[in-house]
Structure 1
């Protein structure tokens, strides 16, 4: 297979990279199988049944699942309450406040009164947790308890009530804290390498810049991929972001490196997908917040809704023909 770039020719089998987001510790082989299978199902739905076996068996591309999940397992963490360390609270609470404010705005823009009521209640509960007097007088356990209440309320949003992955704030809160932990640029290892740097190193490991790379990233993985692709020297014919929090204002967008936020230089096409019931996506239209690269590439956003199930899961997005179709088409063109 050959890809023509700027008058030259790159030879070799394409690469397909999956970059996961928030969640518990994962098994690399199992996740690779699940993501590949979901992508193949989506390709079939998009009219590319001839690629199903090629996707599930990595014939169409050298496929890798970049698993950094165990790097979030803290050793000797201090002040932990319900799985959240005291030092993680400021960023986590800021993330929750911005997330609920944007969700409330979205619900109001479509006159969804029930969702407005739920998000307004959740935001009030989270603002109560942010109150500095609470931390000083009652301690981090009370702050976490109030934050848990707010997240549990959010999970009552229509479309999430029958969610099968996380059913309460107690389960979801520690997972959401991973976004803040990555962006805090702390938690150095024995060699002084920060958590975020170790994660990007894990993602970029083994890639061959002489061959075309397709990246499919999800959730926090879209933030990781954004920063990793800015230091990657090879061509990226297609980058797909799923359920991305990249545009979440001061908590994410303004903390990205490099600044100002712009499409990585090697990316030739960027497709962004979101589901209205995905609570992690507060500002879905990334093109409103991202500057183009030198080639003029900016994200193109499309909404893909999955009703009645937990939507912040990569495999739910990958099974959509709108998501898998462009991947299949790109692979066939290389």
Structure 2
């Protein structure tokens, strides 16, 4: 469940739906916002002014608000956002202090939003705001969620190295395991969702890391209406990437969490089976010469018969543990009343029988 945070934990600037001047700053002549766009930020002061201008252009004629959710950026992105909101009545600012994480920032932004269509995009300029009207229209037309997709026809990624493409493919393939609805790009950070859908799943979300869409897709009911819209993922021109080992670790933790919630018993079975296969595999490897080499098999059999006859042991009390070209290791356990004592022996064809060291 997403924890309810006290309002005193965040500082907010901007105007709300019940403000009669809302939206008039753009000369659009409406007072009710329909599209709520969330911009999660952390050290994005360089990108923000130009991004807001692009958003204004893209959404001209569409009722909207922008909620900037900043994780108390050291470069004071929140302060710049508050300054920008002074002459942009559609902008609100949530400054989160003591909490970080893109996913939780998006959930908080959606929860504070006033619109009927909830959208999110990166604030670093890699997502093209020109796609926003199509995401908005998809939800208005009945889709539960609309995704800006890099991997449908017409979508692409600019300037990635082959290694980055491969890593993205592997992560996407892993993400398909937990999605209740199959989509081509479950790792996208650019999407819109209807307010009723978000309201239905909000308390089931466990937001962590950067991939909030994956969390939503893993929580939504099966056969939800999902629409993917081609996205050209642009090169970052300002700021620095947030992708690091910590983010990758959070992704795999999120994957395990979603898998567990969807099918806990299946996960237990898979894990048990994996451990069993590893143990059996190790044992099979230690004895592989016995299975693959008839000469070794004959030599081991004759040596064991000689040892057991000489010691007066039963063959059934001997258990092979490791077979080598120069000999083998076995355990002798005499079964009788009371405690059974087990002894380990190494037999070398050149030196004879020795106690294990």
Q: TM-score range by the shorter chain?
A: under 0.3
Q: Which has the higher helix share?
A: 1
Answer 1 or 2: which has greater strand percent.
Answer: 2
Structure number with higher relative contact order (C-alpha < 8 Å, ≥ 6 residues apart)? 1
Choose 1 or 2 for highest CA Rg: 2
